[in-house]
Amino acid sequence: MTTRARSSLLILSAAMAILALVAVAARGPRAVALDYSGPIAGWDAYGGDAGGTRYSPLTQITRDNVRALEVAWTYRTGDVSDGSVHARKSAFQTTPILFRGTLYLSTAFSRVVALDPETGAEKWTYDPGLDLTVFYAEHLTSRGVTAWTDPDSAPDAPCAARIFLPVLDARIVALDAVTGRPCAEFGENGQVDLKIDVGEIDEGQYVLTSPPVVVDAVLVTGSAIGDNRRVDSERGIVRGYDARTGELRWKWDPIPRTPSADAWGEWTPEAAARTGGGNAWAPLAADPERGLVFVPTGSASPDFYGGERPGSNRHANSVVALRAATGEVVWSYQVVHHDLWDYDVASQPLLADVPVGGRLVPAVIQPTKMGHVFVLHRETGEPLFPIEERAVPASDVPGERASPTQPFPTHPAPLLPERFTPDSAWGLTPWDRRVCREKLAALRYDGPFTPPSFEGTLIVPSYVGGSNWGSAAYDPRRHLLVLNLNRGASSARLLPRDEWERELRGPRRRDGEYGAQLGTPYGVYREHVLMGPLGVPCTPPPWGLLVAVDMETGEKKWQVPLGTIRDAAPLPLPIRLGVPNMGGPLVTASGLVFIAAALDNYLRAFDIETGEELWKGRLPAGGQATPMTYRLRPDGKQYVVIAAGGHGAFLNDLGDHVVAFALKERRR
């Protein structure tokens, strides 16, 4: 870049930054008269309700007054890690819940904090003693806790109301919701250990990050497993425990282990006995009225080579309905056959009634990393809208047998571009665009689901997402589905075992991630996001989107870029390029979408009808979490609360803050 061009860029950046600051100052919080006539409502589960709709009926904060939002209180957990002292960086992903007038959340170190929801004052904390010296498969993280009231206990009895904590080291702890003390009658001294009957465990690679669900006194949980280590990795068993005693009621393995297991006939006996994974690491959803739990499963092990696990690999990469009382498979729908791209079902299933043929039908809406949205009948698993099996590219790797077809929903149509050419490469300058174009041209790409190869394969959409664990939100009045998407590309290259060893330990080692894939002939090298020499994605912006889909027509109602590079670049450009994001949205009856998730340190509010950004509130760190909202009493304020702690993988601002916003009230 020439000196003149660099100077021009600096001047432009400074001018835009000044204009942005002036605009923000001009529309700062203005006091408003509060409307106390609307409903009161809480947020009693990770996804707002058991079905994960992330919808609130609250109406005090509206499109007209949202600019009067200001910080009401801030609480700091003290649990943050930049990796210099502890083995891993933190990723503060929790969504608090409101239960019996108290706000409960889990910290990045798997502690539980109980807060006064109107002041942020601490009521109690509980520390399960997580070993922070272990290098866990996930960053130091926890997405939340689960609340349950025992209908058979006296209301004031100890542990009549419980908080279930998923601990990163694969334990579940039951706590008295009032005192924070462990419920001694649950498991052993208040906890159950999931590291039983899952095969050989590599330290820190079998973990728990998402909250369980409870249906009719049965506590159901999945697990998270480190990727690409070996074929016989830990088993992705889903378990149902007695919510009172912690006794194991049932367990279900997505991979059939015996001839009597469901889907046994679709696996070879050797693969069924040996293959690990298929686990449900994303949050589960539940339909208590139907007694069903909906399980999003990941890939069978390992992610990028399936020669040791021929076939479709059912029930991996599926949404599975289980009978909560017994663990029986009611139905299963596979969204990716024989996964070779790390296309886990990473989003919580969303349960809603959607309009079909003029009537409302109980549905499971399943967003995916590929930008596909599957809409299935909640009771049968049958598609409510057409899904086509389309031919996809074959593998050219010896021993691999890729699925000849993959399912493509047509309603809604795929939400991300599914075709990409090197000519589409993007860069800030002609030089880095040329480097990106050459990088992309060297990779194999024959369209969606191009299998991993020896020369390296372009994976579009990226296995980062599409939609990830933040999932989606659903407005039942407008029948709008709102979700945030990553829009980028990844790559995966298979290397014969000896070559993989030489590259891993030699001077040719690259900056991406190496996976051993032990038990196969090949290791894998992958890049999560394909970047140019200036540290900017090689794919054109926007790299992050917020999208609304009309579920009655299946059409996009709107899409807008999500976030800026203000807190991620040397020059704090406020340009809305749309950036990579982790977290999710919530929607309110008043027509607002609240979301942070992006690389910059903001919580934003959008108009659900148009996608217009109406407000943004500055956060002290990255908001890689999903917000929640509540109003406690008829004369009370509506609060919007988010965890602001950043994400170690994003290289953004880390923190330990819980921030509550409310309207600034005009003095009478």
SS (H, E, C) 394-425: CCCCCCCCCCCEEEEECCCCCCCCCCCCHHHC
Say if residue 404 is preceded by a cis peptide, omega within 30 of 0.
Answer: no
What contacts 498, CB < 8 A, 6 or more positions away?
A: none
Is the peptide bond preceding residue 657 cis, with omega within 30 degrees of 0? no
**In the chain, how many H helices and how many E strands?**
4, 40
pLDDT in tens, 273-302: 999 999 999 999 999 999 999 999 999 999
Work out the widest C-alpha separation in the chain, in whole angstroms: 77
DSSP conformational letter for 371: S
CB 221 within 8 A of CB 239: yes
Query: Across the chain, what does the average pLDDT equal?
Result: 93
pTM across the whole model: 0.94
Residue 25 has pLDDT above 60, yes or no: no
Best CA proximity match to 204, nearest among 99, 275, 131: 131
Phi, psi of 265 (to 5 degrees): -65, -10
> Can you tell me the mean pLDDT for 446-466?
95
Gap between the Cα atoms of 11 and 62, Å rounded? 37
Among residues of the chain, what percentage have pLDDT more than 90? 87
Tell me how far apart the alpha carbons of residues 44 and 510 are, in angstroms, rounded to a whole number. Answer: 45
Q: Express each pLDDT in 167-189 by its tens digit.
A: 999 999 999 999 999 999 999 99
Q: Quick one: pLDDT at residue 6?
A: 37
Interval 114-154: pLDDT, tens:
999 999 999 999 999 999 999 999 899 999 999 999 999 99
Give the residue numbers marked as catalytic: 342
**Res. 417 pLDDT band, cuts 50 70 90:** confident
CB of 592 closer than 8 Å to CB of 608:
yes
Strands (E), 308-358: 318-323, 329-334, 350-356
Q: Give pLDDT tens digits for 382-415.
A: 999 999 999 999 999 999 999 999 999 999 999 9
- Element housing 438 (H / E): helix 430-441
How large is the average pLDDT for residues 523-527? 97
- Given pLDDT bands bounded at 50, 70 and 90, which one contains residue 509? confident
Cross-sheet strand order for the sheet of 613-618: 55-56, 586-588, 592-595, 602-607, 613-618
Per-residue pLDDT, 510: 85
**CA–CA separation, 291 vs 288, rounded Å?**
5
Higher pLDDT, 596 or 574: 596
Across the range 13-19, mean pLDDT stands at 39
pLDDT of residue 572: 54
Q: What is the pLDDT of residues 252-280, one digit of tens each?
A: 999 999 999 989 999 999 999 999 999 99
Copy the structure tokens of residue 368.
């995916």
> Cα(227)–Cα(222) distance, rounded to whole angstroms?
16
Q: Quick check: 57 pLDDT over 60?
A: yes
Both tokens of residue 93?
């992903």
- Residue 54 pLDDT more than 90? yes
Looking at residue 547, its pLDDT comes to: 98
Model pLDDT, residue 21? 41
pLDDT at 568: 66
User: What is the model's pLDDT at position 668?
Assistant: 60
Q: Determine the 3-state secondary structure of 79 from DSSP.
A: coil
| More confident: 340 or 511 | 340
Reported as a pLDDT band with limits 50, 70 and 90, residue 639 is very high
At 573, give phi and psi (nearest 5°).
-70, 130
